[in-house]
Amino acid sequence: MNHDKRLQSLRSRLEFPLLVTDLANIRYLSGFTGSSAYLLVTPDGGTFFTDGRYGEVAGVVVAGLEGVDLHIHTGPVVDDIAARSDNGPLGLEGHHVTWDFVRRLEKVSPGEIAPTDGLVSDLRRYKDADEVEALRTAAAAGDAAFARVTELVERAATEGDLGRALIEVMEGEGAERAGWEPIVAAGANASLPHHRAGSASITDGLILFDYGCIVDGYHSDMSRTIWVGDEASADVAAMHSAVLESQEAGIAAVRPGATGREVDEACRAVLRSHGMEEHFVHSTGHGVGLDIHEMPRLSRVSDDVLAPGDVVTVEPGVYFPGVGGVRIEDMILVTDSGGEALTQSPKGMLQ
């Protein structure tokens, strides 16, 4: 991954120095994966701050970044940041700093502290070829786990067992780790969009899965809903059919120039036609990358305009308390002509 090119892109957008504090943004710009770092980016250089635990690793990172110096801080990092700032404004990532950090920095900074928004996240939206490859690999690991879902269901006694089995398969396919604790919701638990897999028994009936993994720092995200055992009831089959139709409409709406609200409405219109819109209680999707939830957003209120390089989820769902729910989700790469699904698992209800 060309981190120096990303830094140059950021520098071209700066009116004054920016202190990058979000660790995912720092990883995007530098490749650093540790837990303690600040990156001061100026129009013509910068300083990478970390503590002694990461000195050797950070030295390797900084060696690949043109114009960036390394500073190992041993005292309050705000003092060291202020010492390397000039009398002009210093930009902070407004959504990624605490009020306490801002106040401490204001006391020692020679210039004005200026909040900023989106300078790095806007760059992160559009994935380059290396990022897309990592996302494909992560998606493929999730697909490999779903390909064994029948076997895994037969072996699992509880939702928790099934979630751990999914993680084991993904790690065997090259994933660093799961992106989060998998959602495995059996029976009526499937009416809870973010149900935590627990001790509920796996029996014949509805099972909703939402899970993903991380490869080279990049996430995958996928949802499927299946029926185990005898034929599903007509009501459950109707739910699944409506959600699948809704998702297909949403994916078809993904194209350069489409807004997040247009993709969301494509999904909602189908569910509205089936009398189920009120049971769709969340947004349609979100960007995916180094964070599981990134820009752009696909929702009723999103004016984000899709462009080639965006990777988004399309994940409509309906939820009926006491009965269960259905969600189907795929990761879609926005191309020059439309959208390409990175997740490839079958979407049928019967396994």
SS3 letters for the chain?
CCHHHHHHHHHCCCCCCEEECCHHHHHHHHCCCCCCCEEEEECCEEEEEECHHHHHHHHHHHHCCCCEEEEECCCCHHHHHHHCCCCCCEEEECCCCCHHHHHHHHHHCCCCEEEECCCCHHHHHCCCHHHHHHHHHHHHHHHHHHHCHHHHHHHCCEHHHHHHHHHHHHHHCCCCEECCCCEEEEHHHHHCCCCCCCCCECCCEEEEEEECEEECCEECCEEEEEEECCCCCHHHHHHHHHHHHHHHHHHHHCCCCCEHHHHHHHHHHHHHHCCCHHHCCCCCEEECCCCCCEEEEECCCCCCECCCCCEEEECCEEEECCCEEEECEEEEEECCCCEEECCCCCCCCEC
The pLDDT of residue 86? 84
As a whole number of angstroms, the distance between CA 157 and CA 154 comes to 8
Q: Which CATH code, of 3.20.20.150, 3.40.350.10, 3.30.390.10, 3.40.640.10, is assigned to 3-125?
A: 3.40.350.10
As a whole number of angstroms, the distance between CA 262 and CA 78 comes to 44
Beta strand 68-72 with 183-186 is: unpaired
The pLDDT of residue 45? 92
The residues near 146 (Cβ < 8 Å, ≥ 6 apart) are 209, 222, 224, 345
The pLDDT of residue 174? 95
As a whole number of angstroms, the distance between CA 271 and CA 233 comes to 19
Structural domain boundaries in the chain: 3-125, 129-341
Closest CA to 193 of 84, 122, 283: 283
The pLDDT of residue 132? 98
The pLDDT of residue 349? 86
Q: Which CATH code, of 2.60.40.3500, 3.90.230.10, 3.30.930.10, 3.40.50.1820, is assigned to 129-341?
A: 3.90.230.10
The pLDDT of residue 1? 84
Q: Under a CB-based contact definition with an 8 Å cutoff, are residues 129 and 105 in contact?
A: no
Quote the Cα angle for 207-295-119, to 5°.
Answer: 155
Per-residue pLDDT 10s for the chain (351 aa) are 899 999 999 999 999 999 999 999 999 999 999 999 999 999 989 999 999 999 999 999 999 999 999 999 988 999 999 998 888 899 999 999 999 999 999 999 999 999 999 999 999 999 999 999 999 999 999 999 999 999 999 999 999 999 999 999 999 999 999 999 999 999 999 999 999 999 999 989 999 999 999 999 999 999 999 999 988 999 999 999 999 999 999 999 999 999 999 999 999 999 999 999 999 999 999 999 999 999 999 999 999 999 999 999 999 999 999 999 999 999 999 999 999 999 999 999 875
The pLDDT of residue 351? 52
